[in-house]
Structures are given as structure tokens and as C-alpha cells.
Amino acid sequence: MIQKADRLNSVTEYYFSTKLREVAALRNEGKPIINIAIGSPDLAPPKTVIEALANTSILPTSHQYQSYQGIPEFRESVAGFYKKHYNVALNPVNEILPLMGSKEGIMHISMAFLNKGDKVLIPNPGYPTYASVTKLVEAEALAYNLNEANNWLPNFEELEKEDLSKVKIMWVNYPHMPTGAVASKENFKQLIAFAKKHNILVVNDNPYSFILNDNPISILEVEGAKDVAIELNSLSKTFNMAGWRVGMVVGDSEIIKTILQVKSNMDSGMFLGIQKGAIAALNCSKDWFNELNAIYVKRRKLVWQIFDALGCTYDTEIGGLFVWAKLPEGRKAGEFTDELLYEKDVFITPGIIFGTNGEGYIRSSLCVAEKVLEEVLSRLTTTNN
Ligand SMILES: Cc1ncc(COP(=O)(O)O)c(C=O)c1O
């Protein structure tokens, strides 16, 4: 047997990758499992997106390798989108790099900037990929606490007490997954000042701006942000295109060039049809967001009822593609979600997978049709199930 690389000793398989195998096995045994755990949009992208893909794919000229930086029209559409929705000016020539989803960007950015032994500030709770990629590149993950009392925002007083001398990157993600918390422009200003003081690259991972959020903002709106901050964005949630794998990293041209130095060695451009579809999506009017959010509003009401039935509490002011809820006092997230899975055939995410500060919480997705959520509710409120 060939020995696997040492770097794999520090990471395990992604939680959903293993848990979904278990869910599939239970389904094979005949269990009617309902999955309300995962944020994979179940609705279709805009019609113009599908048409753009279809029209492009039938052209014989569409099938060659594509530019490493994406076609100019795609980058121009990203620049237009950032100007229209965030009032951020980006140079489409060199401040935008298309990605196959923002998840791959986390690896490219880490490979581009981290040496063995460098430290990385990671939100706890937060998207698990920040920590696992940090470990894969042999840097050190330094968790920073987010909690309800602080509205899930970084506590700079606490951070200043740490030895930050080896910190090179800080991952932030507002609107925040899994809690749905948002950062204000003032919060981003503080982050930029902190990053400048300690010479840290701040990366805001921003895929949830448009989901149940009245005021989408970008960290690059802060004056001088480009000196120390870049932003990941994605079409996965905004336009129901998670399976397309299309997103982007934006920011200062030198930083983007450094990321391209990694990425251009990893893949050979994005299928033209996907780029054309992405352009159509980015050019959608605001009606698209209103229609999408109207559906999520209805679903969220049902999820709140599900959480009421489970004796959980939650913040009704918070948006995003998920509902984050606090378990009844003393309950552990893993036990609670396993009970739901084995006794009620409902799969929901335990907050602990997002870090120790997620203990005592669970997360439900809004990517589930109303009638399915109604079925979950009925399973929880019918005593003989
Ligand atoms: C916080 C966060 N960042 C990044 C991603 C990955 O998104 P993408 O589909 O663009 O790779 C997700 C997906 O769930 C996420 O929740």
C-alpha cells in the first residue's frame, strides 16, 4: 500500500462527504430521510442563463481551452455587478479572476500566500474549509471567537491579546455562514484598520450577500480596503448555480496576479458556456433577487415552526440561506441531530461541525421546498411517528 502524504494526517474527509454516505445507506434500507442540512439551492437559475449555456454549447467554436483569466466580457460583467450592487469600482483587466466556485479560491489563495508555519485567523464558528485548507498547506489555524453576545463579529480586544506576528491571512465571511450575521461598513472599517496595523491579508468570503439581506455590502467598499483585503464571491447561491462551479476573487491587481500564478498551473480555463451563463446571471435585474427571496421568506417561516417544535430559539432578524438555532439548554448538537436522523428521518446540520462555538446550535437550510418542510413539521408534531 502506498503511504498517503503526511499533510492528510491533519484533516479528515469533509463532514458532508461522510455523513451523506450514511444518509444514502439509510435511504437504501428504505428510510424516508429528508435532508434539510445542506445549502445547495434547489431552484433553477434565471432562464437567460440556461439559454446562454445552450446557445454557446451548440457552437463548434466553444469547445477549446479558455483563457486563464476568463473572457474579457465575463470580467466586465463582474465589474458591472460590483459597481451596480456594491458601488465598488474594479478594473476588469486585472482586478478580477474567475474561479470554479469560491471554495477552490480558498485553496489558491492559501497556496499563493502561506508558508509552512504561517498562522491564519479562522472564524469559530465558520466554514470548515478555511481550517482544513490551512492545514493542507501546512500553515497553522488560529481560531478567533465569534459568539451570540458579540453578534458573531470579531472581538478585536480579544484578538489584540494574541501573538499576531506570524498571522498572514484572516478569513472573514459576512454575511456569516452558519449564523446569518451581517457586518456593517463600520465593522469592515475596523477589520481593515486591524489588518493594516498587523499587516494581514483579510479575505472576505461573500457568497450570501443577496439572500434575505436588504443591504448587500462588500468589504471593498471601505476606503483603502484594497491595500489589505480581497473578496471571494460566487454565483452558487445568488443565482442557484452551485453545480456550475462559478465564482470570482476580486481585489488589488498584484494580489490577483499572485493568485493567478497558482491557479494557472492548476486548470486550463472555464468552459465558455459557463462563462456566458455567468454573464447572463450577473446582468439580471433586481427582480431576480426579489422573486428568489420571496420564496425563501415563506420557507423560513416553516423552518421557524420546525425549530419551535424542537424547542429551539433563533433570531428572526437575521438573514442568509440558513436558519441558525440554539438548542434547549444542555443539549449537544451531534446527539440532537443524530436523534432526529434516526428517530424522525430528518437530517439537519449540527453546529459543532463549524467549530467549538457551534456547540449547542443546529443549522437548517432553506434549500428545501415548502411541502417537504411541512412534512418535516408533521413528523415532529405527530406523536406516533
Ligand atoms: C461560507 C462559504 N464559503 C464558500 C462556499 C463555497 O461556495 P462555492 O460554491 O462558490 O464554492 C460556501 C458553500 O457552502 C460557503 O458556505
By the 8 A CB rule, do 261 and 112 touch?
Answer: yes
Question: Is the pLDDT reported for residue 56 higher than 60?
Answer: yes
Atom number of ligand 1 nearest to Cα 40 = 14
Q: What is the mean pLDDT of residues 144-155?
A: 97
- What's the pLDDT score for residue 16? 87
Among candidate residues 373, 340, 362, the one with its CA nearest the CA of residue 179: 362
Instruction: Identify the band that residue 338 occupies on the pLDDT scale cut at 50, 70 and 90.
Output: very high
Helix (H, G, I), strand (E, B) or coil at 65: coil
Q: Using the mean position of ligand 1's atoms as its centre, give its distance from the Cα of residue 68 in Å.
A: 22
- What's the pLDDT score for residue 11? 87
Could you say which architecture CATH assigns to the domain 6-44+287-384? Alpha-Beta Complex (3.90)
Tell me whether domains 6-44+287-384 and 47-282 share a fold: no
Query: Residue of the nearest CA to atom 5 in ligand 1?
Result: 103
Q: Where are the domains of the chain?
A: 6-44+287-384, 47-282
Residue with cell 450592487: 85
CB 95 near ligand 1, within 6 Å:
no
CA distance 324 to 351: 8
Q: What is the mean pLDDT of residues 277-282?
A: 98
- What's the pLDDT score for residue 10? 85
CA distance 37 to 293: 19
Q: What fold is seen in the domain 47-282?
A: Aspartate Aminotransferase; domain 2 (3.40.640)
Q: What is the mean pLDDT of residues 119-142?
A: 96
CA distance 343 to 130: 33
Q: Using the mean position of ligand 1's atoms as its centre, give its distance from the Cα of residue 222 in Å.
A: 23
By the 8 A CB rule, do 282 and 80 touch?
Answer: yes
Residues of the chain above pLDDT 70, percent: 99
Q: What is the mean pLDDT of residues 306-316?
A: 97
- What's the pLDDT score for residue 14? 82
Among candidate residues 263, 19, 257, 215, the one with its CA nearest the CA of residue 128: 19
**pLDDT tens across 161-216, in order?**
999 999 999 999 999 999 999 999 999 999 999 999 999 999 999 999 999 999 99
Q: What is the mean pLDDT of residues 71-76?
A: 98
pTM of the entire predicted model: 0.95
Q: What DSSP assignment string belongs to 98-110?
A: EESSHHHHHHHHH
Among candidate residues 177, 156, 157, the one with its CA nearest the CA of residue 39: 177
Atom number of ligand 1 nearest to Cα 103 = 11
Question: Is the pLDDT reported for residue 385 higher than 80?
Answer: no
> Residue 19 corresponds to which cell in the numbers above?
455523513
Q: What is the mean pLDDT of residues 268-281?
A: 98
Q: Using the mean position of ligand 1's atoms as its centre, give its distance from the Cα of residue 11 in Å.
A: 18
- What's the pLDDT score for residue 13? 83
- What's the pLDDT score for residue 384? 56
- What's the pLDDT score for residue 238? 97
CB 176 near ligand 1, within 6 Å:
no
CA distance 298 to 373: 11
Mutation choice for ligand 1 from 14, 127, 173, 241, CB with most ligand atoms inside 8 A: 127
**pLDDT tens across 97-107, in order?**
999 999 999 99
Q: What is the mean pLDDT of residues 264-275?
A: 97
